[in-house]
């Protein structure tokens, strides 16, 4: 049995320049995404600029999301830390807020060996009662999760899924061959999602899904129905979104797109900046091109 | 219309310790691969240890392959050089031997700008009358082919296809969206081939196909028939081959596998060495596991 | 005129498993280092495991160091953040605690362009009245400081020095040729310090100096006296320390060495671990080998 | 006893667009460099574009250099190959031409383990009777020489020196501490040469020395005389050369500079190109700035 499935958008963090979370904007975005059919919500991912937020800001984002979801879909906030102690603190806090799971990231500074990596993930997973998706992103974390580590983590009762944000879908197939009966596989927007679904993936977590929830759900449904050629055609057209977002700061892109769609999410957190007007035009064109899909 | 399609194995170079090409072994391998249904043969790729061979050795490999193929399938030798002058010399030589196309690689030492990269490929392609597959491998070549370069090269009459040996299948989808009507896309064994076929790929060039020609052709046929789920299942099992070969020296692996299948291809060229006996056992197990597929 | 000069050890953070800072141990270490002749103290560097500490732990470390130094030498805590807002908050807090300067780091997650990098450093430097050493470490920060950025930052009144933790001393010579009249240059333990002093460096900030304060001061004095060949000989012998520490987790190494010297600094913060007993032996041997210098 | 010492310029390869070596230009350059006081000549390094040359071109370059040197200084051509067999062939050929030593490089394609690396170097060194300088350049060769490998190679009778082209001078100090009594250390232009001389280096091999032979010899003499502060001042001014050359294709830079000095060395080999006119101006300015030194 799978705990989670389908399209789970990474939420942006609507925020003022002074650091105040714009909770009404976030709540409306959550409500609209659920009405568009998404299967879960993941606050505090990269798209949510989690590394730029302090503890109190993070707490508000998670609480607002859970309240807005109101039990209609699972809410799975990101937990990311360098120290085990800090990760456990976050995980327990979000469980207390009634999160349905966590997306667990190991940040890194000094190199860790495999025993230390395993220690981190299992200590955090053992400290809570809700399921854990482990997340590996070689672009942002220095410590990669080896096959051996994944195999061992897949045997922990609370660790139920893996989200891999590399561009190497072949690596996911290798993981699937070794751990798929114990670990659900989720794609990221860096993958061709149809490919991941075809090798047995359960769904995907991605920032761009904020901007195209309806089309993303349609893609998911085509995959589930085994209508692979239609899925591949839709995927090909939706890929325009990935291409556009690979060019710019991810949070800036999605915030710009949401602003164009009427959500006042504000700029990314300084020293990041919002998109320039010519960049904004590219995002507008892409949104228009996928609106018909 | 596509010039090339299907499964095109990269041939190993059977060779003695003193540098003599074992032409009878190579000829027999070519014949057996063609009888197993492969759609083309590519001597002098990475698998063929081309960078370790001198001009005369390369010439013998190409001539032997063309003679053995005897027109049944196209033969597309690799042409790789640092200087434009040397690449043109090789290309003309192989055309003179009646090769059906070339696989063109730009080696690099000092960095080149985009104009210089385009200059290399177009100068070589213009010097011959047979079609060119351009080949980009970020693991071995320092100079990557940008989208802008690919777009421009795709407009050259003689440049008909791209083989990409990165692990980033999403990049191939981006190329396909931009150039697919002018540039056929071929996968490498670093990709999940089913994924590349689903996004419109025409086939694949790969070393491991030497060891599993029949299963590779079966996979190709399933893709062409749109039987995607069967293809995905076969792909998943065949992936064992890719996993094994990612661990060791590629040429050593394939030479070890062919030796197990009765081809006396010899060791890889020194200072490379043949596989150790425990490594050989892993290759044997994998070959056994895929024999039934 | 230079604001800072000489040997400024990066302090470890003595800490219990439950996260309590061992302030008496830290105070005694500070006092002993000052008595050994060091010219300044820098809490909250990499050696101090700053990324693993929360706000309150950081505050205690800085307050304890400043109190222990008691005005005898400058105290320059590290300020590191992703958001400008957070860095300004830290900088003002430490200024309020009477720090004599700050060591300013830009952490990074999403890529920043040069204008954004400059914005971060100048916004923080303008928010306080004490001098700023900017710190660039390509091993840990994704965003490198280009020559153009350094040149512009060197014109800010509060930005007085640069510490570079790459291994590329030639790059420091290039910076010196462009900015040395406006920016003092400090070496890291990844450099050959004698080389940096010879090209005009003002001193160095390093973790290993915690373990060899007397020998480090002696090396500094030889450089200042122009006794270069004696300096080079001493440097060569002291390099054993750098070699040993390149092998292991830096904080674990220095904590192990300090424990051997009688400071109960505890283990590095989990999931990091203390050195294994055979690793500890290597550290003990090195400490013995340099004790006589 | 050291076999080689001092300033040994890497020679460019003067060549026509059709591939003819301009032997009179090369001979005149060799003669002028010797008259300016250099201590040796090294044809077929990176600066000499060796990877772009065929066997016959290489032979002509080496023969011309040896003839021009006429025994006044040692000539040490580069030998670089992927296969042991090819490297031995080159080494014997140059020994037959009366080269005084070789500079031995291991090119790489497929990864090699340490035993294979050692096998390559010792097989080549054992095949000839002249001394070998081993050369490691992490920018161009995939296979780095570990300390363990260097230590073992340093025990071979014919292997007398190491040239390291990384930017990490600290690594050279580590090598010196382990192998200096058996392996002379030479710097590259990526190092601050004064630093390498201070830690015991015997000299340097560098392309830019072609353009500033007199000043390079002066720098060497100051180091040998222990006049370190004067050396550091001269080094600082000469560094302008390194800064300029880091910006462009190395061969193109040095060829442009030599053309400005009256040597008709031609353009770099295509698809490389000569410097653009604005780039040529930068080289001219730098040459002027160092002419007075």
CA–CA distances in Å: residue A269 to residues A59, A189, A250, C35: 17, 22, 12, 44
Section C75-92 average pLDDT: 97
Q: C189 to chain D: nearest residue by CA?
A: D170
| DSSP state for residue B8 in the 8-state scheme | E
Cβ(B27)–Cβ(B67) below 8 Å: yes
Q: Given a cut of 80, is residue B11 above it in pLDDT? A: yes
Q: Which residue has the higher pLDDT, C28 or B189?
A: C28
Q: What is the pLDDT of residues D139-193, one digit of tens each?
A: 666 567 899 999 999 999 999 999 998 888 999 999 999 998 899 999 998 899 9
- Within its chain, how far is the Cα of A198 from the centroid? 20
The tokens of B69 are what?
Answer: 């193929």
Q: Exposed (0-12), middle (13-18) or buried (19+): which is D129, by Cβ within 10 Å?
A: exposed
Give percent above pLDDT 90 in chain B. Answer: 86
Q: Specify the range with the lowest mean pLDDT, choosing from B133-142, B190-199, D224-233.
A: B133-142
In this prediction, residue D244 carries a pLDDT of 86
- Ranges of beta strands (E only) in C137-229 are 159-164, 184-187, 203-206
- Gyration radius (Cα) of chain C, Å: 18
Q: What is the pLDDT of residues A203-221, one digit of tens each?
A: 999 999 999 999 999 999 9
Q: Which residue has the higher pLDDT, B265 or D248?
A: B265
Cβ-Cβ contacts under 8 Å for A32 (sequence gap 6 or more) = A213
CA distance D152 to D280: 44
Q: Specify the range with the lowest mean pLDDT, choosing from A239-253, A276-290, C25-39.
A: A239-253
Cβ(B65)–Cβ(B267) below 8 Å: no
In this prediction, residue A1 carries a pLDDT of 54
Cis peptide before D271 (omega within 30 of 0): yes
DSSP calls for B190-212? TS-HHHHHHTT--EEEESGGGT-
- List chains adjacent to chain D, taking adjacency as at least 3 C-beta pairs closer than 8 Å: B, C
**Cβ pair B271:D19 closer than 8 A:** no
Q: What is the pLDDT of residues C165-211, one digit of tens each?
A: 888 899 999 999 999 889 999 999 889 999 999 999 999 999 999 99
**Cβ pair A243:B171 closer than 8 A:** no
Rounded to the nearest angstrom, the minimum Cα separation between B197 and chain A is: 10
Q: Which of A19, A51, A106 sits opposite C82 (nearest CB)?
A: A51
Cβ(B60)–Cβ(B91) below 8 Å: no
Q: A252 to chain C: nearest residue by CA?
A: C110
Q: Which of D19, D83, D116 sits opposite B52 (nearest CB)?
A: D83
Cis peptide before C277 (omega within 30 of 0): no
Do the chains B and C touch each other, judged by at least 3 C-beta pairs below 8 angstroms?
no
Rounded to the nearest angstrom, the minimum Cα separation between B231 and chain A is: 10
In this prediction, residue C127 carries a pLDDT of 98
CA distance D13 to D57: 9
DSSP-based three-state secondary structure for D110: coil
Q: Exposed (0-12), middle (13-18) or buried (19+): which is A194, by Cβ within 10 Å?
A: buried
Size of interface A-B (CB pairs under 8 A): 82
In this prediction, residue C265 carries a pLDDT of 98
Place of tokens 């005694």: C28
Size of interface B-D (CB pairs under 8 A): 83
- List chains adjacent to chain B, taking adjacency as at least 3 C-beta pairs closer than 8 Å: A, D
Q: Given a cut of 80, is residue D1 above it in pLDDT? A: no
Place of tokens 């009459």: B157
Section C86-97 average pLDDT: 98
pLDDT grade for A24, boundaries at 50, 70 and 90: very high
* Closest C-alpha among C124, C107, C2, C1 to residue C44: C107
CA distance B26 to B33: 11
Cβ neighbours, 10 Å, residue A244:
21
- Strands D6-9 and C203-206 turn out to be unpaired
Q: Determine the residue among C146, C172, C199, C226 to mutate to test chain D binding: the one whose Cβ has the most chain D Cβ atoms within 10 Å.
A: C199
Q: What is the pLDDT of residues D25-82, one digit of tens each?
A: 999 999 999 999 999 999 999 999 999 999 999 999 999 999 999 999 999 999 999 9
* Closest C-alpha among A148, A192, A137 to residue A169: A192
Q: Which residues does chain B have within 8 Å of residue A236's beta carbon, measured at their own beta carbons?
A: 173, 176-177, 199
pLDDT grade for A248, boundaries at 50, 70 and 90: confident
Q: Determine the residue among D139, D172, D189, D192 to mutate to test chain C binding: the one whose Cβ has the most chain C Cβ atoms within 10 Å.
A: D192
Q: Which of B54, B107, B123 sits opposite D86 (nearest CB)?
A: B54
Q: C190 to chain D: nearest residue by CA?
A: D170
**Cβ pair C270:A85 closer than 8 A:** yes
Q: Which residues does chain D have within 8 Å of residue C139's beta carbon, measured at their own beta carbons?
A: none
Query: What sign for the dihedral angle of Cα D239, D240, D246, D252?
Result: negative
Q: Which residues does chain C have within 8 Å of residue A140's beta carbon, measured at their own beta carbons?
A: 109
Q: B110 to chain D: nearest residue by CA?
A: D249
Q: Tell me phi and psi for residue D165, to 5 degrees.
A: -110, 20
| DSSP state for residue B161 in the 8-state scheme | E
Q: Given a cut of 80, is residue C137 above it in pLDDT? A: no
In this prediction, residue A115 carries a pLDDT of 94
- Within its chain, how far is the Cα of D222 from the centroid? 21
Cis peptide before A271 (omega within 30 of 0): yes
* Chain C positions touching chain D (beta carbons under 8 Å): 167-171, 173-174, 176-177, 190-192, 194-195, 198-199, 226, 228-229, 232, 235-236, 239-240, 242-243
Q: Exposed (0-12), middle (13-18) or buried (19+): which is A129, by Cβ within 10 Å?
A: exposed
CA distance A194 to B21: 44
pLDDT grade for C3, boundaries at 50, 70 and 90: confident
Q: What is the pLDDT of residues D244-265, one digit of tens each?
A: 888 888 899 999 999 999 999 9
Cβ(A208)–Cβ(A244) below 8 Å: no
- Exposure on the CB side of residue C134, measured as CA atoms within 13 A: 31
Place of tokens 């994924």: B195
The tokens of B2 are what?
Answer: 């596509």
Q: Which of B52, B85, B107 sits opposite D270 (nearest CB)?
A: B85
**Cβ pair C236:D191 closer than 8 A:** no
The tokens of B149 are what?
Answer: 């370069």
Mean pLDDT over the full length of chain C: 94
Q: Specify the range with the lowest mean pLDDT, choosing from C70-79, C159-168, D125-134.
A: C159-168
Q: Write A28-34 long-range contacts (CB < 8 A, 24+).
A: A28/A68, A28/A263, A29/A210, A29/A258, A29/A263, A29/A265, A30/A64, A30/A65, A30/A68, A30/A69, A31/A68, A32/A213, A33/A9, A33/A210, A33/A213, A34/A69, A34/A72, A34/A73
Rounded to the nearest angstrom, the minimum Cα separation between A147 and chain C is: 19
CA distance C129 to C144: 26
**Cβ pair D168:C173 closer than 8 A:** no
Section B104-125 average pLDDT: 94
Q: What is the pLDDT of residues C230-248, one digit of tens each?
A: 999 999 999 999 998 888 8
Q: What is the pLDDT of residues B66-86, one digit of tens each?
A: 999 999 999 999 999 999 999
| DSSP state for residue D72 in the 8-state scheme | S
Is the full-model pTM beyond 0.90? yes
Rounded to the nearest angstrom, the minimum Cα separation between B170 and chain A is: 6
CA–CA distances in Å: residue A37 to residues A225, A292, C232: 16, 17, 69
Q: Determine the residue among B10, B51, B110 to mutate to test chain D binding: the one whose Cβ has the most chain D Cβ atoms within 10 Å.
A: B110
Q: Write B194-197 long-range contacts (CB < 8 A, 24+).
A: B194/A195, B194/A198, B194/B219, B194/B223, B194/B228, B194/B231, B194/B232, B194/B235, B195/A169, B195/A192, B195/A194, B195/A195, B195/A198, B195/B169, B196/B169, B196/B172, B197/B223, B197/B224, B197/B231
Place of tokens 């064994």: B189
Q: What is the pLDDT of residues C27-60, one digit of tens each?
A: 999 999 999 999 999 999 999 999 999 999 999 9
Q: Which of D168, D226, D239 sits opposite C177 (nearest CB)?
A: D239
In this prediction, residue D108 carries a pLDDT of 85
Q: Determine the residue among B164, B168, B185 to mutate to test chain A binding: the one whose Cβ has the most chain A Cβ atoms within 10 Å.
A: B168
CA distance D226 to D239: 20
**Cβ pair C242:D190 closer than 8 A:** no
Q: Given a cut of 60, is residue C115 above it in pLDDT? A: yes
**Cβ pair A249:C82 closer than 8 A:** no
Q: Given a cut of 90, is residue D115 above it in pLDDT? A: yes
**Which helix or strand (DSSP H or E) is residue A79 part of?**
strand A78-81
Q: Specify the range with the lowest mean pLDDT, choosing from A128-142, C47-61, C213-227.
A: A128-142
* Closest C-alpha among D68, D19, D24, D33 to residue D208: D33
**Which helix or strand (DSSP H or E) is residue C41 part of?**
none
In this prediction, residue D2 carries a pLDDT of 75
**Cβ pair D117:B271 closer than 8 A:** yes
CA distance C97 to C91: 10
DSSP-based three-state secondary structure for D90: helix
- Gyration radius (Cα) of chain D, Å: 18
In this prediction, residue D142 carries a pLDDT of 58
Q: Determine the residue among D21, D56, D110 to mutate to test chain B binding: the one whose Cβ has the most chain B Cβ atoms within 10 Å.
A: D110
Q: Which residues does chain C have within 8 Å of residue D235's beta carbon, measured at their own beta carbons?
A: 173, 199
Place of tokens 């609370």: A158
**Cβ pair B112:D82 closer than 8 A:** no
pLDDT grade for A142, boundaries at 50, 70 and 90: low
Angle (nearest 5°) at CA B116 between B115 and B120 = 120
pLDDT grade for B1, boundaries at 50, 70 and 90: low
Q: Which residues does chain A have within 8 Å of residue B198's beta carbon, measured at their own beta carbons?
A: 194-195, 198, 228-229, 232
In this prediction, residue B108 carries a pLDDT of 85
**Cβ pair A168:B171 closer than 8 A:** no
Cβ(C33)–Cβ(C69) below 8 Å: no
Q: Which of A169, A174, A194 sits opposite B243 (nearest CB)?
A: A174
- List chains adjacent to chain A, taking adjacency as at least 3 C-beta pairs closer than 8 Å: B, C
CA distance A31 to C183: 53
Q: Determine the residue among A198, A222, A235, A290 to mutate to test chain B binding: the one whose Cβ has the most chain B Cβ atoms within 10 Å.
A: A198
CA distance A145 to D245: 40
Angle (nearest 5°) at CA B70 between B64 and B71 = 125
Cβ(A286)–Cβ(A47) below 8 Å: no
Q: C167 to chain D: nearest residue by CA?
A: D168
**Cβ pair B177:A232 closer than 8 A:** no
Cβ-Cβ contacts under 8 Å for C184 (sequence gap 6 or more) = C2, C3, C4, C5, C160, C161, C162, C202
CA distance D126 to A243: 55
In this prediction, residue B190 carries a pLDDT of 86
- Strands D184-187 and D102-106 turn out to be unpaired
Section C252-259 average pLDDT: 96
In this prediction, residue D139 carries a pLDDT of 64
């Amino acid at each position: 049995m799978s705990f989670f499935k389908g399209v789970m958008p990474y939420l942006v963090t609507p925020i003022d320049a002074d650091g105040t979370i714009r909770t009404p904007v976030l709540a409306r975005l959550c409500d609209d995404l659920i009405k568009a059919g998404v299967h879960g919500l993941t606050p505090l991912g990269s798209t949510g600029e989690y590394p730029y937020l302090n503890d109190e800001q993070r707490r508000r984002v998670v609480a607002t999301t859970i309240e807005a979801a109101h039990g209609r879909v699972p809410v799975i906030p990101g937990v990311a830390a360098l120290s085990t102690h800090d990760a456990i603190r976050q995980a327990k806090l979000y469980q207390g807020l009634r999160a349905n799971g966590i997306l667990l990231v190991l940040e890194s500074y000094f190199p860790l060996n495999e025993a230390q990596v395993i220690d981190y993930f299992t200590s955090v997973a053992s400290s809570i009662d809700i399921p854990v998706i482990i997340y590996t992103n070689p672009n942002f974390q220095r410590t990669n999760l080896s096959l051996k580590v994944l195999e061992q983590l897949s045997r922990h009762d609370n660790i139920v899924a893996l989200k891999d944000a590399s561009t190497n879908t072949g690596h996911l197939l290798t993981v699937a061959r070794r751990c798929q009966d114990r670990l659900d596989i989720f794609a990221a927007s860096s993958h061709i999602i149809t490919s991941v679904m075809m090798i047995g993936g359960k769904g995907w977590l991605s920032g761009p899904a904020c901007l195209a929830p309806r089309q993303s759900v349609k893609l998911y449904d085509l995959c589930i129905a085994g209508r692979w050629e239609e899925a591949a055609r839709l995927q090909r057209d939706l890929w325009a979104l990935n291409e556009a977002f690979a060019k710019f700061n991810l949070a800036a892109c999605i915030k710009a797109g949401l602003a164009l769609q009427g959500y006042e999410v504000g700029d990314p957190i300084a020293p990041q900046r919002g998109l320039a007007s010519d960049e904004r035009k590219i995002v507008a064109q892409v949104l228009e091109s996928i609106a018909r899909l």
